[in-house]
Amino acid sequence: GENVEQHPSTLSVQEGDSAVIKCTYSDSASNYFPWYKQELGKRPQLIIDIRSNVGEKKDQRIAVTLNKTAKHFSLHITETQPEDSAVYFCAGSSGTYKYIFGTGTRLKVLA
């Protein structure tokens, strides 16, 4: 069935370093790939997304890349700050009603 695998499950980086989280999807029809940030006790918040007609998208310190051939996409955070510490979820959607979420990555930025 449809599946989105996300790695790593936990990631610790020093403040100022970069962080990369990777996701792989199985549904070839997937064409929309959002990333969510969830702080402790709060709702997931959409931070960036990419559609299948684009290979890369950037918004200040965060960027997402998509490789449709390999069916994987990645979140890149540069110059990490303590407030970037959170759980990050990737997801895939084929433009229908369902989102398939990854299992999450707990990012810790060490000061």
Partner 1 sequence: SQTIHQWPATLVQPVGSPLSLECTVEGTSNPNLYWYRQAAGRGLQLLFYSVGIGQISSEVPQNLSASRPQDRQFILSSKKLLLSDSGFYLCATTGGDYEQYFGPGTRLTVT
Q: Which spans of this chain sit near partner 1 (rule: CB under 8 A)?
A: 32, 34, 41-46, 49, 89, 91, 93, 95, 97-99, 101-104
* Closer of 36 and 80 to partner 1 (Cβ): 36
Closest CA relative to residue 10, chosen from 26, 1, 21: 21
Nearest distance from residue 72's CB to partner 1, in Å? 18
Burial label for 53, CB within 10 Å (0-12, 13-18, 19+), is exposed
Nearest distance from residue 71's CB to partner 1, in Å? 19
Nearest distance from residue 82's CB to partner 1, in Å? 21
| Cα–Cα dist 66/74, whole Å | 7
